[in-house]
Chain A
Amino acid sequence: MSLTAPPKIKLKGRRNMALARSRSIASRIAQAVLLLLAVIIFNFVLIHLAPGDPATVIAGESGGTTPEQLESIREAYGLNDPIFVQLWHYLVQIAHFDLGYSFYFGQDVTSLIGERLYPTVLLAGTGMLAGLIIGTLLGVIAAIKPRGILSYFVTVIALVGFAAPVFWTSVLLLLALSITIPIFPIQGMNSIIVSPHAFPQIWDTTMHLILPATALALIYVALYSRTARTSMLEVLDSDYIRTAWAKGLGGRIVIFKHALRNAVLPVVTLLGLHVGALLSSVVLIEVVFNWPGLGSLLLESILRRDTPVILGILLASSVIVIVANLVTDVAYRIIDPRIAISGGPQ
């Protein structure tokens, strides 16, 4: 008996922990659902309170239109109902995974967003990844010699990256590398007409991607190089790095294996936070480069007051951000059970 007692206690403790973790995760999921509901309602009310009548856009250039024609357009699109009735209809629709129909294109919003999602993921993914890698590397190199030329160069890059509006850097990139030195294409995700073979198509997309991804990456290079530099300077000053040097380890191993692993954590945290703000930069870049993604669709829809599309894109981006945060939280709780018990990150 005495031999089996301790495992029982352990098992009980594990069960309690698992229960606490499950409760914590369930509560976090419930919070996420409530947050999503709040976001949907907030977006809906905000857009519907803005002045402007989508019926005038649907009618097109008119002047000969009768008020009756406009009225019938409003009736057909449910624009005459009180806002709370419209909101209720919208929530019921969302509950059925239906994002509605675009006022402007008369196409269902889900398929419109579906068509545009991949280009945005490609651009945002490549831009962020490039920003993360280049930014971190520049930060590390700058931290090795904090008073060296490269360190000052990183500071300048960071200042320019922060200060320069992304549409301006985009136009400069176009002028420099598409017009003056004609290396890259001007616009779109592919040439209008391409070869039927797979490799030339991928090459074509890559050539189209480089400038917009660079414009996006510049923002993140600026952010991550500064963060990585500061973090790396702190880590390089710590005892275990001194120990590593004292052991006679090579520079590359000390910097990249011991120091970088710890220094990169704040950068990764920052990366997670930036996903939410990504869309605002992507909108401008997609417009300048005519990249056929969600950002350009969002802008076009805002200018035409195409409410179902605007709401659909905002909902999609909200879901991405909320799910990303949820996954992070759940991961924290699984990795560190103390968070589950205390109810929040320490």
Chain B
Amino acid sequence: MRPRSADLPTRILGLTLLLGVMALAFLTLRILLIPLVAASFVAYLFDPAVVALQRRGMQRGSAFGLLLAISLIAIITFLALAPSWLRLESLNANSESFTDRMEKQFGEMEHSISQRFPMFQSVHLASKVNQKAGEFAAHFFEGLPALITSFTVNLLLVPFIAYFMVRDGRTLRRRIVSLVPNRYFEMTLMMLHRIDRQIGGYLRGRIIECMLVAVTQIIAMGIAAAFVDQPQILLISVVCGATNLIPYVGPLMGAGFGILLYLGAYGLPMSAVLGLLAATLVAHIIDNVAIAPLVLSHNVDLHPLTVALVLVIGGELLGILGLLIAIPVAASMKVVAQEIYANYQLQTRLEE
């Protein structure tokens, strides 16, 4: 019999290979996680329309291509024909001009506060806030080219991945299920079916909610624009809609982006900021009262502490885009866990 130690080099080699494969998988996942998740959002969003076209005899891939083309044409037409107050404007700002404008704005704000409330004279709000805002601006403008590059790459990659997800997703799922041993085959098939239905319902609901929030924000800011200066309505509304994916802090982040833009890049007075805040508040109230109850049939509640932890992890791993996808990914993982537990409970109940 060969001694056990003779296997040691083979084991070390095997372990090294395994670690290498794991590291490679992690890196690939880290690079591709955002486009993969975004593509699955797109695939789930388009699925009901793809099914409707499939009923009319169209192939899934062609149906998705057609819908994507229609959506792109609709977006381009909208951008071309939108009224002047809604058009995207070029943003001419850099780290220095941003810091200067912020300093001026906060200096005026501090002056006005110290005149009305003399006890706050020793606080020196402007210098403190300006230092932080300056650091943030430097960091933001440094990372901006990389963010734009990554966004552009994802913009091209996402429809490509989504196309294959829509076209081959079901076949792939069948192939995976076919590999499951007979004993667990039915259980796996049913579980995947329920998970797919739940996640599909949840993601579609959230994406439609975000779109409606963006539209509400556009209308509210449009009304505010009649009274105060409100530039970049479309950009701010789209950001508010996207950040709405994040519970609790999402609307604040959207409004925060708008405030920084108004004060730092445009140097607008406080009345514009108040108009933006009022519009965001109105959009948030309409979302909570009317949009969310109507759209979210498969609501997945996450504990506030879970939300905070998930956001920290998402932000640390993948930055701003990580923050956006963290909650839907966590909610989907919760649905998977719930389904596995429900299946286990059903099995236990039936065996009793």
* Physical interaction between A and B: no
Chain B positions within 8 Å of A, measured between CB atoms, are none
Chain A positions within 8 Å of B, measured between CB atoms, are none
